[in-house]
Amino acid sequence: MAYVQGFVVAVPAANKEVYRKHAADAAPLFKEFGATRLVEAWGDDVPDGKVTDFKGAVKAKQDEVVVFSWLEFPTKEACDAANAKMMNDPRMREMDASMPFDGQRMIYGGFNAIVDEGGAGKAGKTGYVDGVLVPVPAGNKDAYRAFAAKAAAVLKEHGASRVVDAWGEDVPDGKVTDFKGAVKATGDEKVVYSWIEWPSKRARDEGWKKVMADTRMQAGSMPYDGKRMVYGGFAPIVDA
């Protein structure tokens, strides 16, 4: 299973093409450093929540759109080695100096995949992404893995091409925003970074109707507080 570096960013809507190009230009560098995949997905169906939501997670302004993105690495060691190289590479420092968004509100962290159904994603093959953040009590890791694996099987049966749930391993505290604040995690909770890949938005919309009507998804209790789960729909703009 992959090790994932997950990000959530608030980007001015007017900067969409600049952001897409910035990310596309960075993709070959990430590959050089050892990443196996980069996905940048533009907010498309990102609802307001009563307790938590993606917009609040990054303190998005009215003219900003939330981007859900991730890098995949073979292992945590590969990710750590890549980060060390990035820190010392002048090309990355140059790109960091020209980011088309407020980097102080970007949230990021490292996550170890505990469920990965559908196999490694193929670049350019994903038509739509559901992004999810979940606060899970640390003691419920095994229960969550079983719950997520069961849900993944149902999602795939109804059209999803890949389902990944990744357990927080290196999730730093931020000065302005962070993953823990995004889901209002308590001291004994871990953050799960999860996504569902679909062939298209239409397949996603039709698939979710079937999933919600599936009795297998209605049985049992969730091993986390669903009221603090953050979710939304995103359209990939870079998949490399």
Q: pTM for the full model? A: 0.96
> At residue 131, what is the residue type?
G
Is the separation of the CB atoms in 197 and 116 below 8 Å?
Answer: no
Q: How big is the chain, counted in residues?
A: 240
As given in the structure block, the two tokens for residue 15 are 């900067």
Domains of the chain: 3-239 (3.30.70.100)
How far is the C-alpha of 57 from the C-alpha of 187, rounded, in Å?
18
pLDDT digit of tens for each residue in the chain (240 aa)? Answer: 789 999 999 999 999 999 999 999 999 999 999 999 999 999 999 999 999 999 999 999 999 999 999 999 999 999 999 999 998 999 998 988 899 999 999 999 999 999 999 876 666 689 999 999 999 999 999 999 999 999 999 999 999 999 999 999 999 999 999 999 999 999 999 999 999 999 999 999 999 999 999 999 987 789 999 999 999 999 999 999
| Burial class of residue 142, CB neighbours in 10 A (0-12, 13-18, 19+) | exposed
> At residue 82, what is the residue type?
A
Under the phi-then-psi rule, with left for phi > 0, alpha for psi from -120 to 50, and beta for the rest, what region is 133?
A: beta
Is the separation of the CB atoms in 28 and 143 below 8 Å?
Answer: no
The alpha-helical segments, DSSP class H, found in the chain are: 16-33, 54-57, 76-87, 90-96, 141-157, 179-182, 201-213
The alpha-helical segments, DSSP class H, found in 163-230 are: 179-182, 201-213
Sign of the torsion formed by the C-alpha atoms of 68, 71, 101 and 238: negative
Tokens 């993953």 belong to which residue? 179
| Burial class of residue 145, CB neighbours in 10 A (0-12, 13-18, 19+) | middle
